[in-house]
Structure 1
């Protein structure tokens, strides 16, 4: 019986994902004209629905929990995390462009959905945050010359790292790296990336001291990720507690983002298309709204995060809820013609699927 129910849930989820794909393409096409996508890109869009739906489920559970725990309910979030309250036109543009880039939400660390409330329209914007694996994937696909290998290493105080730079007498950039004490390496002092090509003369060594890594640490970084002190409520009182965080993982992901940037792996101008340009524009917009997003996202992760924390992505929001939301069927099956009094929805109603 349980197995049959699981199969039914999967069937329902896939059916709804197909309808979501059709709606996304309709929304995108209405503003951009005729749209051509491949079967593979269509399957990626269906995966986006599944990933976003699971993120909404998890965020809604957290919203209900937080509201119940609020002593002053004037601070409650009264907008449920449902598809009816999602900014669908904006999401449609993002989904199509990122699917065209080949970013797969079903793959770890490719791209993750982060819902946060836009207070101007009381709808949830779904920010699609590209993870370090997605950054690597895009960088290699759009590279002028695709690297044959990239090595990423953090350097600790007991390690021995010797860069060998290109010079008049040395045509190939390289390095020597020795871990002298593997079980007690000391503090992180920096990191490096080594980009290798078939033509070894192109090889490039990227070096980041710890000071450069910390410059890229978010202004309001969570101690759950980077370590340090955080505020907790215990017995109705605030108190500061020290947490270890996941500094090594955060430093490594920061290093990966630097090494795979176009500064070190040059772009092929002939490959740069509208979707790539859209991605770069979204990254700039994300930086402008980052502080607002951090206030909306509840940072409670206490395990190794799946994503780089520059925008405080949460493992909790990426957790998988196996059941699609019950209200989705009604949304997808809404009639094309709606009575006049319902054609102008209230802000909390959001787009109808």
Structure 2
């Protein structure tokens, strides 16, 4: 398929531009006409590239999974293609997220995750925010934006001493020393430190391993968090132990906590329709029945997209399936 189309006496139109026009049309029919800047249109074009990539990878893995099912009882026979995407909901999400300024072409801003909606027999595209995206949103809508943020893992050989705020101590702070840089031992927790122009507002956030484990996704993939995973060898599944990227996942968890509204207060005057839509979708897609493991930039060479089957009526979940090494592909005609 050609990456561009042309008409007589017209400038060539790329597929990402056609996607942008289609999204704005869909958005207008569902929510009314809305103004978007040229920069926001560029962001939407970037959404097309990333979503198209996610769909292509999901389709490859759908075919692979079906071929590995000997009795084909659990085959997914719905191709993961643009023709089977719920474009109406996607258009709403794309426009609102672009207006927020979230950039899908930047690492860990926002990622596209297709999952099959058994009620509609269509694929919904979850636009899941990464920790950099959460940082961006937290600072954009903050009542009091921090001037510096520190996040660190603490290992059992490190020296960490917190100084919490009290009558005698007006400024929260800490002492942190890495005693053995090349053999730090096991992770025992971590912390975040928010610094403000008024030091009395500085905040120290401490997370134990128990705190981190509580935030571990229900369907935590061994490729990420370590543990046992299944691999196909000569047509048979075998269980293999892997360390995954446990430390990176722990640090990501701390960053997500630090940049949450629990610790960075929002300015009510800044809350707009785009933010409200983003929070509504986040609540829907982060329900206990649907959870995702997203990879961060430290391990981008192992980038993954997650395809999840969801029955929206029963909450039944099939998956997840990790898909590695996405390739840029051409998208459809819109």
Length-normalised TM-score, structure 1:
0.81
Q: After alignment, is 74-83 or 230-239 more displaced?
A: 230-239
Q: Secondary structure at the match of 1:193?
A: strand
Q: CA deviation at 1:237?
A: 4.4
Q: CA deviation at 1:170?
A: 2.1
Q: CA deviation at 1:231?
A: 3.1
Show the counterpart of 1:69: 68
Confirm whether residue 320 of structure 1 aligns to residue 327 of structure 2.
yes
CA contact (8 A) 1:70 1:76 kept: yes
Q: Distance in 1 between matches of 2:28 and 2:3?
A: 30
- Alpha-carbon spacing, 1:308–1:126, altered in 2? closer, same or farther (3 Å): closer
Q: Distance in 2 between matches of 1:196 and 1:10?
A: 49
Show the counterpart of 1:247: 246
Q: Secondary structure at the match of 2:67?
A: helix
Show the counterpart of 1:337: none
Q: Distance in 2 between matches of 1:53 and 1:232?
A: 27
Q: Secondary structure at the match of 2:268?
A: coil
- Alpha-carbon spacing, 1:106–1:319, altered in 2? closer, same or farther (3 Å): same
Q: CA deviation at 1:65?
A: 2.4
**Which structure has the highest helix share of the two?**
1
> What are the equivalent positions in structure 2 for 1:88-237 lying under 5 Å apart?
88-237=87-236
- Alpha-carbon spacing, 1:280–1:19, altered in 2? closer, same or farther (3 Å): same
- Alpha-carbon spacing, 1:50–1:248, altered in 2? closer, same or farther (3 Å): same
Q: CA deviation at 1:88?
A: 0.2
Q: CA deviation at 1:203?
A: 0.9
Q: Distance in 1 between matches of 2:302 and 2:224?
A: 8
Q: Distance in 1 between matches of 2:238 and 2:305?
A: 27
Q: Distance in 2 between matches of 1:181 and 1:60?
A: 46
CA-to-partner distance for each residue in 1:6-31, whole Å, 9 max, x for gaps?
xx858999711111111111111112
**Which structure has the highest strand share of the two?**
2
Over the residues paired in the alignment, what is the CA RMSD in angstroms?
2.8
- Alpha-carbon spacing, 1:44–1:313, altered in 2? closer, same or farther (3 Å): farther
Q: CA deviation at 1:287?
A: 2.3
Q: Which runs of 5+ in 2 are unaligned?
A: 7-11, 309-318
Q: Distance in 2 between matches of 1:49 and 1:16?
A: 8
Confirm whether residue 256 of structure 1 aligns to residue 236 of structure 2.
no
Q: After alignment, is 165-174 or 42-51 more displaced?
A: 165-174
- Alpha-carbon spacing, 1:270–1:314, altered in 2? closer, same or farther (3 Å): farther
Q: Distance in 1 between matches of 2:5 and 2:324?
A: 23
Q: Which runs of 5+ in 1 are unaligned?
A: 333-353
Show the counterpart of 2:29: 30
Q: Secondary structure at the match of 2:41?
A: helix
CA contact (8 A) 2:20 2:45 kept: yes
Q: CA deviation at 1:66?
A: 2.4
CA contact (8 A) 1:226 1:245 kept: yes
- Alpha-carbon spacing, 1:53–1:318, altered in 2? closer, same or farther (3 Å): farther
